[in-house]
Amino acid sequence: MKQAITPDIAPRPSACPGLWRIVAARDGGICRIKLPGGVLLADQADAVADAAERHASGTIEATNRGNLQIRGIGADHRALVERLLVAGLGPRDAAGDDVRNLMLSPLAGLDRAMRFDARPLAREILELLEGTPRFHQLSAKFAVQLDAGEDLAMLEHPHDLWLSVMRLDGQDWLAFGLAGCPAQSQALGAVRAAEGVSLVQAVLERFLDLASVEQSRMRQLLASCPPGHFIEGLGLDVRRDAAVLAYRRPTATSPWLGVLPQLQPRRVALGAAPPLGRLTPAMLRGGARLARESGDGSLRITPWQSLMLVNLEPASAMTVQAQMTALGLLCEHEQPLARMVACTGSSGCAKGLADTKGDALILSSLLQPGAPASVHLSGCQRSCAVAHVAPATLLARAPGRYDLYLRDASKPGFGALRARDLTLKEAGAMLDLPTEHLDD
């Protein structure tokens, strides 16, 4: 018997949206579609575009964790959710949807630098998360990262649990850390790669055993539970010698826009970004069509709020890139708008103090190609659009007015305050500098 659909309507402005939980915002409801490993099949892309047109404003966003969300949803939540479920974009068990927070490289299984293909292990972890009723108690924000050593990898987003491949004694091991990220956090231990699922299961069970109702995230638990004590109770043979504790993940070097090499001979990937992370239905349908015609029939949604076509023939890559550009997508890092990230802002969020999306468009027109490295416009202190600290952050204080911060590892929050109460023109003048003056 077909399960009845009863989407959970959560009007709280800070609630985390999901497939079944349509969260109210100033511009209508928000539905978040969690994609396994960021993979979106072409037919599923068409279904998202259709749902956004029929049941919402047509606004589709790529998120900073490789998912999609539909904004401006009207009253017919049931029809929208059903359309997405029929396309295979989530489980019919609503409790199993929230916990599917697993980040991979957008080129998992395809990246030239990978130590192993992360996709089979990722499938096992997702099945564990979705199919274990006890894990449905986890916060909808509780997140796991699996890093197989790819060059194209987001290594700065914090996760409750991260796993990163390392080579020890001629074998692949998974170093892991808690409440941090591979780029900045110390590994707390390592297990053999074959024990990856067992590690995830043990960490989640240990967390649920120890955490109070108020401790919904790993960082909150670790404030009262030392990491060593946490690991001692995992019931696994965890390696914690000097070689493991000294592990530092090598820097990822691959760009995410333009034509990228793949491990597979005579195949390339193509990265393209919708301006400010927002896709129109036409963009998504166009990307799906090109994936069918020139790729493998799938799109990869990236943590940089962009998308990728994979398994293209090199001879067709530039033609496909031209077609992506014609759809309104950005394929070159030198374009100022490609380096802009902005939250929804006051047009769609009650907490936003400025129209960050509109201001980012204006600001991009004031900057020269190639500068700056990355600029984040945030409508409030919550920093919803970026999970890590950007090289430069403009924090709204009033419509069209911003404080400028530059990333500084020695300072909390957005970094070092550089200037207060700037107009967009004044901010543009300060940001129009060589990249090395903004990035650390």
Q: What is the mean pLDDT of residues 68-92?
A: 95
Could you tell me what percent of the chain has a pLDDT over 70? Answer: 94
Q: What is the DSSP string of 186-251?
A: PP-EEEEGGGHHHHHHHHHHHHHHH--TT--SHHHHHTTS-HHHHHHTS-S--B-SHHHHT--PPP
Instruction: State how beta strands 298-301 and 375-378 pair.
Output: unpaired
Asked if 37 and 63 sit in the same domain, the reply is yes
Q: pLDDT confidence of 440, banded at 50, 70, 90?
A: very low
Asked if 393 and 328 sit in the same domain, the reply is no
Task: Tell me whether residue 98 is in a domain.
Answer: no
Domain harbouring 286, CATH code = 3.30.70.3340
Domain containing residue 234: 115-148+155-245
Q: Which of 87, 53, 93 is nearest to 70 (CA)?
A: 53
H or E segment to which residue 33 belongs: strand 28-33
Rounded CA-CA distance 220/103 in Å is: 21
Mind listing the pLDDT tens digit for each residue in 39-63?
Answer: 999 999 999 999 999 999 999 999 9
Mind listing the pLDDT tens digit for each residue in 214-267?
Answer: 999 999 999 999 999 999 999 999 999 999 999 999 988 889 999 999 999 999
Across all residues in the chain, what is the average pLDDT? 92
Asked if 398 and 318 sit in the same domain, the reply is no
Mind listing the pLDDT tens digit for each residue in 158-211?
Answer: 999 999 999 999 999 999 999 999 999 999 999 999 999 999 999 999 999 999
Residue 8 has pLDDT above 60, yes or no: no
Asked if 39 and 84 touch (Cβ cutoff 8 Å), the reply is: no
Torsion angle (degrees, nearest 10) of CA 412, 337, 334, 390? 10
Q: Record the pTM.
A: 0.92
Asked if 170 and 235 sit in the same domain, the reply is yes
Q: b/e per residue, 397-410, with b = 16+ CB within 10 A?
A: eeebbbbbbbbeee
pLDDT at 436: 45
pLDDT at 94: 80
Q: What share of the chain is helix, strand, coil (3-state, %, to 5)?
A: 30, 25, 45
